[in-house]
């Protein structure tokens, strides 16, 4: 166990958050104006996901927004850049391998805790779901440093560009573990790779406007502790050129309310810090890594 590792109780609690995100996708899939369709989300969410869904402040607005944003991002990069490796650390109950359109020779690597992957496969097999790409499942502790070896053993090629999608994870990790994970991802990424993640600003953890949410996640044993105040500078130090938007901004665009609710004319650089960053980045050709 490394010094940044979570305890097994913390990891089990974070595992259940995947049921909640599946429930959010199940509800969105039923809407006429849905931003995506996930045919397996309801089965994956189960009763536990539904129970957690009912406690959400915004019916999962930020999860809906990020799902659509990252769907569009991944599809665009695959189609425009010809990249054929997608790695999803903390994939949870994500079904992109099954529900998005993939070109031939596409490979998706999914990493999460063993229990989460085991549960997911049981449900997907019972549903007779078939992925539209090659798919490798890699049980992993992402706060440790051994997962890259398992990824390489599964066939990931570090000489070729890849897309990395780290969705719904970083704010659960201590900052040291975030930096370690992003550092390992960077070392495994060839030039012209792409990286996407959501993250939170430290202002979110202390603002009165977000207190209700912060108290709920703490009560559930999954406090939001990991913050990135300046994603562009952090990624630049690791050799990436990043672009940042937020769930607030995209929420207005997609017409989905995102907690804390404010009107679009109240969105300023200060209030935007109370929402999730949506970060995408491309790996530079000349990589000079610090540290
Ligand atoms: C909120 S869910 C997000 C899942 C998925 N990316 C999505 O958006 O639906 C967080 C996921 O992170 C995983 N996770 C948290 N800590 C982890 C760790 N140390 N190692 C591996 N997975 C971890 C949990 O098991 C869970 O599946």
Residue 216: is its pLDDT beyond 50?
Answer: yes
Residue 2: is its pLDDT beyond 70?
Answer: no
At 1 the pLDDT is: 45
For the segment 233-254, the average pLDDT, to the nearest whole number, is 97
Give tens-digit pLDDT for 76-85.
999 999 999 9
For the segment 233-250, the average pLDDT, to the nearest whole number, is 98
Q: Which domain holds residue 176?
A: 8-283
**Nearest-CA residue for atom 3 of ligand 1:** 168
Of the pLDDT bands very low, low, confident and very high (cuts 50, 70, 90), residue 188 is very high
Residue 290 resides in a domain: no
Residue 288 resides in a domain: no
For the segment 131-141, the average pLDDT, to the nearest whole number, is 98
Give tens-digit pLDDT for 19-54.
999 999 999 999 999 999 999 999 999 999 999 999
Give tens-digit pLDDT for 168-182.
999 999 999 999 999
- Here the CATH number for the domain that contains residue 265 is 3.40.50.150
Ligand 1 contact via 78 beta carbon (within 6 Å): no
Task: State in Å: Cα 204 to ligand 1 middle.
Answer: 20
Cβ(87)–Cβ(165) below 8 Å: yes
Terminus-to-terminus CA distance in the chain, angstroms? 22
Q: Does residue 260 have a cis peptide bond before it, meaning omega lies within 30 degrees of 0?
A: yes
Rg of the chain in Å (alpha carbons): 18
**Nearest-CA residue for atom 27 of ligand 1:** 92
For the segment 239-252, the average pLDDT, to the nearest whole number, is 97
Of the pLDDT bands very low, low, confident and very high (cuts 50, 70, 90), residue 287 is low
Task: State in Å: Cα 94 to ligand 1 middle.
Answer: 10
Ligand 1 contact via 216 beta carbon (within 6 Å): no
For the segment 59-76, the average pLDDT, to the nearest whole number, is 97
Residue 79 resides in a domain: yes
Mutate to test the pocket of ligand 1, among 169, 171, 172 (most ligand atoms within 8 A of CB): 169
Residue 161: is its pLDDT beyond 50?
Answer: yes
Give tens-digit pLDDT for 100-121.
999 999 999 999 999 999 999 9
Give 82: exposed, middle or buried? Use CB within 10 Å, 0-12, 13-18, 19+: exposed
pLDDT mean across residues, the chain: 94
Residue 227 resides in a domain: yes
| Beta-bridge partners for 240 | 283
For the entire predicted model, the pTM comes to: 0.95
**Nearest-CA residue for atom 25 of ligand 1:** 15
For the CA of 92, the closest atom of ligand 1 is 27
Residue 210 resides in a domain: yes
At 6 the pLDDT is: 61
**Nearest-CA residue for atom 22 of ligand 1:** 112
At 289 the pLDDT is: 52
Provide the 10 A C-beta neighbour count for residue 286.
Answer: 6
Residue 291 resides in a domain: no
Residue 94 resides in a domain: yes
**Nearest-CA residue for atom 12 of ligand 1:** 90
Q: Total structural domains in the chain?
A: 1
Residue 161 resides in a domain: yes
At 10 the pLDDT is: 72
For the segment 260-274, the average pLDDT, to the nearest whole number, is 94
């Amino acid at each position: 166990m490394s010094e940044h590792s979570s305890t097994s109780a913390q990891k089990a609690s974070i595992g259940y958050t995947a049921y909640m995100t599946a429930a959010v996708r199940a509800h969105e899939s039923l809407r006429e104006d849905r931003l995506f369709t996930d045919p397996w989300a309801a089965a994956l969410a189960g009763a536990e996901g539904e129970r957690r869904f009912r406690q959400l402040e915004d019916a999962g607005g930020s999860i809906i927004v990020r799902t659509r944003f990252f769907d569009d991002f991944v599809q665009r990069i695959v189609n425009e850049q010809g990249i054929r490796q997608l790695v999803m650390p903390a994939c949870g109950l994500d079904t992109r391998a099954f529900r998005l359109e993939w070109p031939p020779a596409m490979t998706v690597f999914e990493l999460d805790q063993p229990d989460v992957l085991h549960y997911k496969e049981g449900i997907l097999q019972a549903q007779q779901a078939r992925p539209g790409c090659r798919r490798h499942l890699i049980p992993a502790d992402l706060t440790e440093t051994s997962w890259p070896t398992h990824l390489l053993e599964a066939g990931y090629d570090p000489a070729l560009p890849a897309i990395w999608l780290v969705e719904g994870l970083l704010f659960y990790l201590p900052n040291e573990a975030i930096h370690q994970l992003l550092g390992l991802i960077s070392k495994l990424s060839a030039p012209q790779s792409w990286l996407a993640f959501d993250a939170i600003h430290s202002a979110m953890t202390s603002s009165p406007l977000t207190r209700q949410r912060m108290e709920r996640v703490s009560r559930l044993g999954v406090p939001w502790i990991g913050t990135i105040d300046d994603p562009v500078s952090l990624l630049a130090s690791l050799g990436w050129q990043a672009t940042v938007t937020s769930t607030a901004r995209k929420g207005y665009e997609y017409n989905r309310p995102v907690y804390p609710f404010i009107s679009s004319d109240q969105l300023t650089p200060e209030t935007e810090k109370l929402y999730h960053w949506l970060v995408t980045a491309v790996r530079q050709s000349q990589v000079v890594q610090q540290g």
